[in-house]
Amino acid sequence: MLGYPTYGQLLSYPDVFEGTLDMVDLGEGWPDQGNWGKCVGWGVSEAMEITDFLLDNDPTDLSAEDAYNKARKYDGLPDFLEGSNNLGAMKGLQKLGICHESCWPTSIDKAAPSPGLQCSDIVYEQQSMEHGIDNYYQVPLSVGGFKAALWGTTSDPQWGEGVGVPMIIGVRVPESLVDAVDGVCPIPAPGEGSLGGHCALVTGYDLIDDHLYFDNPETWGKDKGADGVYKLPVEYLTGGWIMDAWVFHNGPPIGPTPSDCGWANAYVDFGNLVAKMFNRTTRVPKPVRI
């Protein structure tokens, strides 16, 4: 986990910080996941596109489909549960990387699944090695922890502080999000229900009427929010709606290592057994060392 900023560092941060918000549509336009629940793949691929651009100033369209599939290899979920989790995505990036969109096209409509691999295995592996990470860090769930990670104080970005660091969050979406006006989300009410879990990006923060909001470029197309961007009130963080947050360090993937952990293998075997009891097809892989 990342450390906390000092008091002096906290005082040095600006009241408003756009960060990497203007770099979200570097690929092939604004991200739109369609009717799939593959938000993890979209969030991870968008974050990687931003960090890659900050390193080499060369925009690359990366495959959300490939990022999602690789997250599923490490999240321990069977096929019939759509979606993934951020820890699985971080492991996928660190072990396997991501290929280009042209190599593995992303489906945004369940009626038209992805055609799968569209390049040679050699090209696929080469691209994935070029777009991976060598480490990932969990961000403390506090205002100071978020600001420090976004600014780059604790997240140690390879391009220096003050430019911005894209952060991947896992959030329980409050029902009131659908009532957002111009992308500004209402403060969740006590006892409010949730629409479900979601992976999203946070790229910076803003003040609206002296109230802190986090910039959240969503993966639902430009016609949602304010040209695709939502403002999440700080209560999403302080009220426990944001469940986890991550940043990563670009570098060559380290490659998967088979696990020799008996308990971990037993967990996967149990998951497969339960799935078979419900006549479901499983795809739970044997775990790897983290």
Residue 288 located in a structural domain:
no
113-122, 181-190, 264-273: range with lowest mean pLDDT: 264-273
pLDDT digits (tens, 9 = 90+) for 159-173: 989 999 999 999 999
Residue 287 located in a structural domain:
no
Q: What percent of the chain has pLDDT over 70?
A: 87
Query: By residue range, what is the domain housing residue 236?
Result: 7-256
Residue 54 located in a structural domain:
yes
Domain with residue 162: its CATH number is 3.90.70.10
Which pLDDT band, with edges at 50, 70 and 90, does 287 fall under?
very low
Residue 157 located in a structural domain:
yes
pLDDT digits (tens, 9 = 90+) for 127-153: 999 999 999 999 999 999 999 999 999
Residue 151 located in a structural domain:
yes
pTM of the model as a whole: 0.86
Alpha carbon distance 84, 68 (integer Å): 7
- Tell me what pLDDT residue 284 has: 38
pLDDT digits (tens, 9 = 90+) for 192-238: 999 999 999 999 999 999 999 999 999 999 999 999 999 999 999 99
Residue 175 located in a structural domain:
yes
Residue 265 located in a structural domain:
no
Q: Count of domains in the chain?
A: 1
Residue 71 has pLDDT above 90, yes or no: yes
Residue 281 has pLDDT above 50, yes or no: no
Which pLDDT band, with edges at 50, 70 and 90, does 5 fall under?
confident
